[in-house]
């Protein structure tokens, strides 16, 4: 909805020729299901490109419990880090501290 059809087709064809795949065939949910590392997803609730329910589906596809999903209120697609700011950065730091400790119990956090 944010791009005109001729431009979208042009980009798709260019990707197919240069990289060997059609962008429409890319499925983040399938890629997420293959992850075997701790995952932190921060997503803006005002993202016009990737709906919040799509982000939650991607999060749900990540196997295991070493994952965190964080909604950033008032953030769009490009401003998650700046809108989330201090509280988000504290959550990210804690996530990394938890993730590097092998003896830390499994964690799953949402919102």
Q: How much is the pLDDT for 102?
A: 64
**pTM for this one?**
0.76
Q: How much is the pLDDT for 7?
A: 83
Q: How far apart are CA 50 and CA 66, in angstroms?
A: 23
Q: How much is the pLDDT for 6?
A: 84
Q: How much is the pLDDT for 100?
A: 84
Q: How far apart are CA 17 and CA 37, in angstroms?
A: 32
Cβ atoms < 10 Å from Cβ of 43: 21
Q: How far apart are CA 65 and CA 88, in angstroms?
A: 20
The segments of the chain whose pLDDT lies below 70 read 1-3, 102-111
Q: How much is the pLDDT for 111?
A: 66
Q: How much is the pLDDT for 109?
A: 66
Please say whether the beta carbons of 43 and 55 come within 8 A.
Answer: yes
DSSP state of 23: G
């Amino acid at each position: 909805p944010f791009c005109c059809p001729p431009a979208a087709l042009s980009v798709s064809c260019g990707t197919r020729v240069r990289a060997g795949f059609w962008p429409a065939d890319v499925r983040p949910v399938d890629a997420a299901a293959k992850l075997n590392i701790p995952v932190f997803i921060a997503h803006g609730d005002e993202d016009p490109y990737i709906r919040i329910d799509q982000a939650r589906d991607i999060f749900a596809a990540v196997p295991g419990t070493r994952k965190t999903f964080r909604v950033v209120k008032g953030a769009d697609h490009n401003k998650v880090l700046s809108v989330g700011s201090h509280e988000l950065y504290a959550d990210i730091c804690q996530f990394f501290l938890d993730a590097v400790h092998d003896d830390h119990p499994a964690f799953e956090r949402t919102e």
